[in-house]
Amino acid sequence: MAEMVHAPLVTYVSMLSLLTLCPPFVVLLWYTMVHADGSVLQTANYLRENGLQGFLHIWPNPTSIAWKIIAFYAAFEAALQLFLPGKRVEGPISPTGNRPVYKANGLLAYVVTLVTYLGLWWFGIFNPVIVYDHLGEIFSALIFGSFIFCIFLYIKGHVAPSSTDSGSSGNIIIDFYWGMELYPRIGKNFDIKVFTNCRFGMMSWAVLAVTYCIKQYETYGSIADSMLVNTTLMLVYITKFFLWEAGYWNTMDIAHDRAGFYICWGCLVWVPSIYTSPGMYLVNHPVNLGVQLSLYILVAGILCIYVNYDCDRQRQEFRKTNGRCLVWGKAPSKIVASYATTSGETKTSLLLTSGWWGLSRHFHYVPEILAAFFWTVPALFNHFLPYFYVLFLTILLFDRAKRDDDRCKSKYGKYWKLYCEKVPYRIIPGLY
């Protein structure tokens, strides 16, 4: 049963507005970055003068070349996910007692994808500039295609769920929006959320980051240092993601959020369009920062990505070793928290209360947001739109921290209360 973490009215209003506003927003953002110099004002003036007709005019058609690019990419990633070798990894035990099994081949898939993409360009087989030049059409196709895919997930959840971790809330909009299945699969091995979230979504972020670089290179004959800093930081972040992909399979996205519009449409459309948007802006704004400033931003960004990685690593190592590890050179302090599964069984989990997890309950979101700021700041401050992702991420993570706290409170009860007493701040130590 999908839980409502906010008041019902807030939930309905936010669901319906996300369902109706996100698709046009993706198109407007792309249009502003690529055709309106990144200026929100310019787009707003255009819309004021031309109204709805003008908006419909800029909405690109999902052309056959766009569908072909998406189909090739999706098929390639699906094949890598299915056929590349990888260690067998078990996910966390689900609320109904299932333990999903995965093949950890994400890093290899990431390397193969980037090498193949750069190879196709280098040997003149496929020019990534084609992707940039059809970006609007690709986003348009993704908007419609992913919507249909979410309808498929909804129907599958009703008629052919892959496991007992599935169910209906009794409300069609909630089922469609939050999803029905926790671990939908095609056959035994093809995990749909690994595909949508990791191999399509996160991978497309890297592919598009490289595409933007190549487009700038082919347009201007060189790559500005601002673009290099942006692309390097984004690639470091995505490399970290794939290095740690099996860890990601233990997080809220996979272990708690069901496969519906919120997660899947988000990963299939929002990640390629919004997450990559600072790079999309830089293509036509080749700012030169100079070596010193570039290095400062690069080092600050890498540091943030490292701290974010270390927070996740610390929690996972602590859980994997059952608390028998060192945290910042000392034995960890912890709470042994028991909880009941939906089948009434009592289980225990360990909550780490030292290291990063002793600073605040979601400290890892701080370096996550700062890293995004550092890969955006090469765009300097002429326009607000490149910073939209940082703003969006901040809202997303503050909301997520609340959702996670509420979920943990209902899961662990008095033990979570104890954790909150020991570690009183939710995200920013001393402030919030």
21 binds ligand NDP (CB under 6 A): no
403 binds ligand NDP (CB under 6 A): no
365 binds ligand NDP (CB under 6 A): yes
116 binds ligand NDP (CB under 6 A): no
Residue type, 182: L
DSSP conformational letter for 166: B
Q: Distance between CA atoms of 92 and 247, rounded to whole angstroms?
A: 10
What residues numbered 173-212 form the site for ligand NDP, per CB under 6 A?
none
In terms of CB distance, is 220 or 432 closer to ligand NDP? 432
Q: Distance between CA atoms of 157 and 307, rounded to whole angstroms?
A: 38
DSSP conformational letter for 413: T
Nearest approach, Cβ of residue 312 and ligand NDP (Å): 5
383 binds ligand NDP (CB under 6 A): no
Binding window for ligand NDP (CB under 6 A); candidates: 76-84, 176-184, 189-197, 393-401 = 393-401
- By the 8 A CB rule, do 30 and 139 touch? yes
φ and ψ at 90, to 5 degrees?
A: -100, 135
371 binds ligand NDP (CB under 6 A): no
400 binds ligand NDP (CB under 6 A): yes
Q: Distance between CA atoms of 37 and 136, rounded to whole angstroms?
A: 15
| Token digits of residue 355 | 């290291």
- By the 8 A CB rule, do 386 and 278 touch? yes
364 binds ligand NDP (CB under 6 A): yes
Q: Which of 308, 354, 360, 376 binds ligand NDP (CB under 6 A)?
A: 308
Q: Which of 258, 315, 383, 426 binds ligand NDP (CB under 6 A)?
A: 315
Token pair 């190592």: residue: 317
Nearest approach, Cβ of residue 247 and ligand NDP (Å): 8
In terms of CB distance, is 92 or 167 closer to ligand NDP? 92
* Distinct helix (H) and strand (E) counts, the chain: 18, 6
Which of 107, 92, 305, 99 shows the shortest CA–CA distance to 199? 107
Binding window for ligand NDP (CB under 6 A); candidates: 6-14, 31-39, 139-147, 251-259 = 251-259
Say whether 274 sits in a helix, a strand or coil: helix
Size of the site for ligand NDP (CB under 6 A): 20
Cβ of 338: how many Cβ atoms within 10 Å?
Answer: 12
245 binds ligand NDP (CB under 6 A): no
Q: Which of 16, 252, 336, 380 binds ligand NDP (CB under 6 A)?
A: 252
- By the 8 A CB rule, do 293 and 226 touch? no
Binding window for ligand NDP (CB under 6 A); candidates: 214-222, 283-291, 323-331, 344-352 = 344-352
CA dihedral (153, 159, 163, 165) positive or negative = positive
Name the residue number minimizing CB distance to ligand NDP. Answer: 251
Token pair 């999903």: residue: 100
Binding window for ligand NDP (CB under 6 A); candidates: 2-10, 56-64, 167-175, 363-371 = 363-371
Nearest approach, Cβ of residue 165 and ligand NDP (Å): 14
Say whether 90 sits in a helix, a strand or coil: strand
368 binds ligand NDP (CB under 6 A): yes
Which of 423, 74, 371 shows the shortest CA–CA distance to 235? 371
Nearest approach, Cβ of residue 341 and ligand NDP (Å): 11
352 binds ligand NDP (CB under 6 A): yes
Which residues form the interface with ligand NDP (CB under 6 A)? 251-253, 308, 312, 315, 319, 349, 351-352, 357, 364-365, 368, 393, 396, 400, 404, 408, 411
